[in-house]
Amino acid sequence: MSRARVARRIAAGAAYGGGGIGLLGAAAVGVVLAEVQLAKRTVGNSGEHPAPPRADGRYGWGFADRPDGAEPLRFAMLGDSTAAGQGVHRARQTPASLLAAGLSAVAERPVELRNVALPGAMSDDLDRQVTVLLSDTSSWVPDVCVVMIGANDVTHRMPATRSVRHLAAAVRRLRTAGAEVVVGTCPDLGTVENVYQPLRWMARRVSRQLAAAQTIGVVEQGGRTVSLGDLLGPEFLANPRELFGPDNYHPSAEGYATAAMAVLPTLCAALGLWPEEERPDVSRREGFLPVARAAAQAASEGGTEVAAAMPTGPRGPWALLKRRRRRRIHHHTPDPSPLPQ
């Protein structure tokens, strides 16, 4: 069965309350469980994980005195340890800080960042995170949100339909509150060092299937997605010492910068800050596709954006697949200033 059809089945199950989609044959379960136990002893076994640095605050104070008096952009980060910045030691190295600084530079406005991501979180924690974020809509409502989630859903074997259902519900709540939403889909877990075959192949397959299904669920709720899996995969495999952190599982500062560099153009485009071409660039293999096909293609190529396009077509909802040029982000920016109370 093609990845597009599997993704569509998962997304449909999520929307209509279906059960999990079986992705692995029963004969492989024993081998997989043995590989999982071996991987647990060698991956992420560098002792206790320190809490990720807090990057909340205001970025771009140099733009505070703009003559037009523009208010700061409000940016929120949600998700798991990747969104929280687990594995680095300075706030300015986290993906949220990198994106806030980059967004401020492009918009030429201050950016207020709030990060409610939780290390170890699965998609069923997004409801709590959204509630925390929207707890006081009278004083702070995000203009745009980035969500990075999915890896723990795979490693904890959460049914893909349940995973997508929680993510879609979170996107729907954020969109209803008036925020633009960008989701960095499930990374390719087949790139983690010390994960051997056949677990590596199975992890890659399940990761990409979940990423494609996430894309369908997010786009149908009015959000945008950026594929992270294949983007980081080849670079992690080629430069594991540089792009993985000390625990051989979470990204290093360079790894986070690579991911943020892919997300920033879509983050800016969601706010109308990125130049939009009138037509897709055929030379970059951009175009309008049924959403399931666009999702499957994006899952196979990192840095690919998928956004809603035509509401319907002969084969269901359609989406615009974009391959935006990345913008280099420097992670040597000053630490943020505290948010005003």
Residues with Cβ within 8 Å of residue 103, at least 6 apart in sequence: 59, 73, 75, 111, 144, 264, 267, 268, 271, 273
In DSSP notation, 277-324 reads: PSS--GGGT-EEEEHHHHHHHHHTSTT-EEEE-SS--BTB-EEEEE-P
Phi, psi (rounded to 5 degrees) for 132: -60, -45
* 247 annotated active-site: yes
Q: Which of these is catalytic: 123, 250, 252, 331?
A: 250
Q: Is 250 a catalytic residue?
A: yes
**Tokens 């969104």, residue located:** 83
How far is it, in rounded angstroms, from Cα 81 to Cα 58?
22
Between strands 224-226 and 144-148, the pairing is unpaired
Round to whole Å and give the CA distance between 114 and 143.
11
Identify the active-site residue in 81, 104, 163, 252. Answer: 81
Terminal-residue alpha carbon distance, the chain: 53
Catalytic residue IDs: 81, 247, 250
